[in-house]
Structure 1
Amino acid sequence: MALSREEIAARYGAAMFGYAQDMKVLDSVHEELAELKKAVEANPAIIGVLSDPILNKGEKKKTLSVIEESFSDEVQGFLNLLLEYDRFAYLIPIIDRFNDFYDQEKSIASGTATTAVKLDDDQLKRLGDSFAKKYHLNAVRLENQVDPSILGGVILQVKDRVIDGSVKNKLKKIRAQLIDEN
């Protein structure tokens, strides 16, 4: 039975996380995989070449050796493992799963701050820090989405928690109270 994309990503991501943790290089591997992900997203042809069934393993190994030369032994070994087992097509989802495990281990959460106007980096950081402190997390990384229909305020969504502090929501509550009173 063939494994799904999610199963492959979960297995390899967990394996890499466990290995990096055992070797006590978790933070450095996390940084290297983040750089690798950026590079691959900027040049998706890399994955195409390294997962191409027509190219032989020798050609792929030469290509990979050029890419991996600046990485640690742990990341190099991981990339060679992916190449050996023809899993390079799943590199991005594997890195994403590794990051999920890393974030869970380090009590880091990611989320979205929806606002009527764009927030600058400092405002996003302060908002994330405030949320992290309130919910006992080490850090919260926020992305900003702009939605003028909320009129003002912020809708914060982190993991399964949503805090709706939008003007639109407050007006809706006031309207509901007025209707209930009549």
Structure 2
Amino acid sequence: MSQSTAASRYAKALFQLAQEKQLLTEVSSDLREVKVVFEENKGVFQLLDSPKLEDKEKKELVSKVFASVQPIIVNAIKVLIDKKRIHEVVSVIEEFIRFANDTQGVADAIVYTTQPLTEDETQRISTAFARKVGKNTLNITNEIDPSLIGGVRLQIGNQIFDSSISHKLAGLKRTLIG
């Protein structure tokens, strides 16, 4: 989560604009993809943060790279470039997603399993655990972790629900050994 007050302000402004234009779902979805681009392609971030490029060139690059996302996202990134706050882009996105999730009754969850989840399993986990954390639904990311041996481990924010075999074996070991 962002520690920056500025990131929170930019995220709130973008969130309010998305709500006004009734594009909250679309903007949230696109921002998740934009976040992946910035996190996985450090070159894009470094290029946009480089003092060697003029702001005009940076904005043109943003327009080309993010041509398929909602225009208000492109404009928000351009504002961050103008304000010399492009280094805050990931924090702004995280704050926006937090605002959107709170409004829509959604929580992000990571489900660790030994094998990929089916759509049915994903839906059942979302339904069962969303109620436990007071949400309507969960946005589930499935991570494969062979060390679990079997079962699942679910992380929603700072809560962890662990019904994996490795966790149960560790508990049994603690009980037997003391």
Moved beyond 6 Å, runs of 4+: none
> What count of residue pairs does the alignment treat as equivalent?
173
Query: Does the C-alpha gap of structure 1 residues 48 and 158 become closer, same or farther in structure 2, counting only changes over 3 Å?
Result: same
TM-score if structure 2 supplies the norm length? 0.75
Q: How does 1:15-164 map to 2 (within 5 A)?
A: 15-115=13-113, 117-122=114-119, 123-140=121-138, 141-146=140-145, 148=147, 151-164=149-162
Query: Does the C-alpha gap of structure 1 residues 168 and 61 become closer, same or farther in structure 2, counting only changes over 3 Å?
Result: closer
Superposition deviation, residue 14 in structure 1: 2.2
Percent same amino acid among aligned pairs?
A: 27
Superposition deviation, residue 135 in structure 1: 4.3
Letter in 1 for 2:7: A
What SS class does the counterpart of residue 156 from structure 1 fall into?
strand
Superposition deviation, residue 52 in structure 1: 0.9
Query: Does the C-alpha gap of structure 1 residues 108 and 54 become closer, same or farther in structure 2, counting only changes over 3 Å?
Result: same
What SS class does the counterpart of residue 109 from structure 1 fall into?
strand
What SS class does the counterpart of residue 124 from structure 2 fall into?
helix
TM-score if structure 1 supplies the norm length? 0.73
Query: Does the C-alpha gap of structure 1 residues 27 and 175 become closer, same or farther in structure 2, counting only changes over 3 Å?
Result: closer
Unaligned runs of 5+ in 1: none
Superposition deviation, residue 134 in structure 1: 4.6
Superposition deviation, residue 82 in structure 1: 0.9
What is the root-mean-square deviation of aligned Cα atoms in Å?
Answer: 3.1
Looking at CA atoms only, which structure, 1 or 2, has the larger radius of gyration?
Answer: 1
Superposition deviation, residue 68 in structure 1: 4.4
Per-residue CA shift, 1:90-143, capped at 9, x if unaligned?
A: 22222122112111211111223344x324243344322321245442222143
Superposition deviation, residue 85 in structure 1: 0.4
Per-residue CA shift, 1:50-102, capped at 9, x if unaligned?
A: 21112222322332333344444422321221111011222222212211211
* In 1: Cα distance, 2:167 partner to 2:74 partner: 50
* In 1: Cα distance, 2:50 partner to 2:106 partner: 36
